[in-house]
Amino acid sequence: MSVPSQPVQGDTARDVSGWITDFRPTKDELDACVHCGLCLPHCPTFRLTGNEAASPRGRITAMRAVNEGVLTVDEDFEEMLGFCLGCRACEAVCPGLVPYGRLFEGARAEIAAQRPTLVGSARRRALGRLLPLRRLVGSATTMAGLLQKVDGLLPNPLRKRLGGLRTLSANPQSSLGRIVEPEGTPVGTVGLLSGCVMDPWFGGVHEASIALLSRAGYRVVVPRSQTCCGALAAHDGAAEEARRLAAVNQRAFAGVDVVVADAAGCSAHLADYDHFVDGGFDAPTRDITVVIAEAIADGRLPRMEGNESVAYQDPCHLRHAQRITEEPRSIVRAAGYEAVEIDPDGICCGAAGLYTLLRPVAADELGKRKADQVRATGMTTVVSANPGCEMQLRSHLGDSYRIVHPVELYHDRLVSHANAGTR
């Protein structure tokens, strides 16, 4: 990283810190890091490389140097932040409660603003303007189908870069605009995030979520005017696009009692909406696993018996970003399964939003590691609550493994028990 060619004091375009956007990492946030190093063994990129520059501590040191005007946002800084998965495992173990996720997104926003490239700008524009368009996502599904037919002919570097995108199949029916009334005594209205990825590619999860929420006493509304949550845009530095998407959703979900997402990456981003739009949501935001686990705990949804086992994979944005670990496991147990642990350290599988496209080598290495851990359990069904994890696992494990969301696993068992009872 380079030193500024001249003092930045008095520069009207930039303050002394070297930042130029209002998403900048702040001095107070950066100073919360005391460089204790407890994060290092939990960081996937540090474990891959052993390089301090590839660790949270190293990245925060670089951010602090930029904040103090000692270094600039240059190519080296961009590389350091670009190699980070944004998994937030460091955040979960930090005794100083350093908000690394916000620092990471703020630094990426600065990179986008100070080092614009044609490809990067087009990508960030697409994340905000094109990804929310279902018909264009449908076109990507058609392309994925073609890739599946020629998968064995693709060069290995391209296969790595495409990752789980090669495994997708279309969901023909959108959930947008649906309103489902509660069964039994009403307990409130849930606004369900449709999502730019979940709706076209993981519709079965939506169907399970809606059915279980209704049975648990919720009126379920899927606002037609909603849009992409903005997580991918925020992670890639497209902060203004993320802000715009958040404002759209803030209006779309007005009047509900709780906003629920059934993708861990989405629910984690919704919880941070106050960083992008004043006041965030009027209602609390929750991951679907928390809502369903509570309904099971208080008897609104049943516990079922069984003697099977499944492997359980913690999505980073559930385990690390939201500290949600017990609820999805309790759903698995309530469905009559034993949850077999894959990785006690919860190291990222390498999906990380766009990471498989932008950093295919590191993503592939992490994906292989996770797949080996799954195989070591002897299980052929893997439960995970995030679409990126599902695509990454499916890409590395193949068709002989079933990858399923915990609410989908529970709902399937519930339907199976109901059908057995009618015979």
Tens of pLDDT, residue by residue over 222-231, are 999 999 999 9
Q: What is the pTM of this model?
A: 0.87
Is the domain spanning 27-116 CATH 2.170.120.12? The answer is no
User: Model confidence over 74-133: pLDDT tens digits?
Assistant: 999 999 999 999 999 999 999 999 999 999 999 999 999 999 887 777 777 676 666 665
Q: Is the pLDDT of residue 328 over 50?
A: yes
Kindly state the average pLDDT of the residues 207-231: 96
pLDDT digits (tens, 9 = 90+) for 252-295: 999 999 999 999 999 999 999 998 988 889 999 999 999 999 99
Asked if residue 68 has pLDDT above 70, the reply is yes
CA distance 290 to 183: 19
Residue spans per domain, the chain? 27-116, 303-421
3-state secondary structure string, the chain? CCCCCCCCCCCCCCCCCCCCCCCCCCHHHHHCCCCCCCCHHHCHHHHHHCCHHHCHHHHHHHHHHHHCCCCCCCHHHHHHHHCCCCCCHHHHHCCCCCCHHHHHHHHHHHHHHHCCCHHHHHHHHHHHHCCCCHHHHHHHHHHHHHHHHCHHHCCHHHHHHHHHHHHCCCCCCCCCCCEECCCCCCCEEEEECCCCCHHHHCHHHHHHHHHHHHHCCEEEECCCCCCCCCHHHHHCCCHHHHHHHHHHHHHHCCCCCEEEECCHHHHHHHCCHHHCCCCCCCCCEEEHHHHHHHHHHCCCCCCCCCCEEEEECCCHHHHCCCCCCHHHHHHHHHCCEEEEECCCCCCCCCCCCCHHHHCHHHHHHHHHHHHHHHHHHCCCEEECCCHHHHHHHHHHHCCCCEEECHHHHHHHHHHHHHHHHCC
Query: What is 303-421's CATH topology?
Result: Rossmann fold (3.40.50)
Position 364 pLDDT exceeds 80: yes
pLDDT digits (tens, 9 = 90+) for 130-185: 666 555 555 555 555 545 555 555 555 555 455 555 555 656 677 888 999 999 88
Query: Mean per-residue pLDDT for 381-407?
Result: 95
Local confidence band at 9 (pLDDT 50, 70, 90 cut-offs): very low
Give the mean pLDDT of 184-193: 95
